[in-house]
């Protein structure tokens, strides 16, 4: 019998944790080195297109894309196959409060709009202009709220990924050092004199 409260707490934490992640947007940045930048970028673009995402910006040094949030692991997997990730960064923004606020305000505005339509239908000629002006303002507010909600929902649905490409063309070249046939000269650290 004592196990039920613990089970309830675990279930509550998992459900609330899921809902918090479900209302968050993700922004990833990767810095990579690759010998084949064109192939890497081409593969990233192909995956993005296949998953219904899109490229926001592209040049020979970087690519910025939006991809469904559930498919970000595919991009990381592709990077690991064709490049070396030198650094990465992840930013998370939670939009739960904003969405709740916008949706509550939208519901209130829709209720008010319906009330204004009822007043408009029963108003006299002198009140018609005032009520119509109020209706237009409420419609403007409603469309603005709908736009904000759609914007946040889009940010939640599509993660943003920026990849910075630093092309590497093989092993780094080190200056050739001539060594003397006498060990005691080499031990003096006179390499700069020997290279002249």
Q: What is the pLDDT of residues 141-169, one digit of tens each?
A: 999 999 999 999 999 999 999 999 985 55
pLDDT in tens, 58-90: 988 899 999 999 999 999 999 998 899 999 999
The ranges assigned to domains in the chain are: 24-94+156-167, 97-154
Percent of the chain past pLDDT 90, that is, above it, reads 55
pLDDT band for position 109 (50/70/90)? very high
pLDDT band for position 4 (50/70/90)? low
Mean pLDDT, the chain, rounded, equals: 81
| Weakest mean pLDDT among 48-52, 94-98, 127-131, 154-158 | 127-131
In this structure, the chain runs to a length of 196
30 pLDDT more than 80: yes
| Weakest mean pLDDT among 16-20, 22-26, 73-77, 85-89 | 16-20
């Amino acid at each position: 019998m004592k196990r039920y409260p613990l089970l309830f707490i675990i279930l509550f934490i998992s459900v609330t944790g899921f809902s918090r992640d479900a209302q968050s947007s993700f922004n990833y940045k990767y810095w990579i080195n690759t010998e084949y930048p064109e192939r890497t970028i081409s593969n990233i673009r192909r995956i993005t297109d296949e998953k219904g995402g899109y490229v926001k910006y592209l040049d020979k040094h970087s690519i910025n894309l939006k991809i469904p949030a559930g498919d970000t692991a595919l991009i990381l997997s592709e990077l690991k196959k064709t490049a070396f990730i030198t650094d990465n960064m992840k930013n998370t923004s939670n939009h739960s409060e904003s969405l709740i606020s916008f949706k509550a305000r939208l519901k209130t505005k829709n209720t008010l709009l319906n009330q204004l339509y009822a007043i408009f239908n029963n108003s006299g000629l002198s009140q018609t202009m005032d009520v119509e002006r109020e209706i237009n303002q409420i419609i403007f507010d409603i469309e603005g709220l709908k736009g904000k909600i759609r914007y946040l929902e889009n940010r939640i649905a599509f993660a943003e990924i920026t990849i910075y490409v630093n092309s590497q063309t093989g092993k780094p070249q080190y200056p050739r050092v001539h060594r003397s046939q006498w060990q005691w000269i080499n031990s003096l650290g006179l390499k700069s004199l020997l290279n002249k």
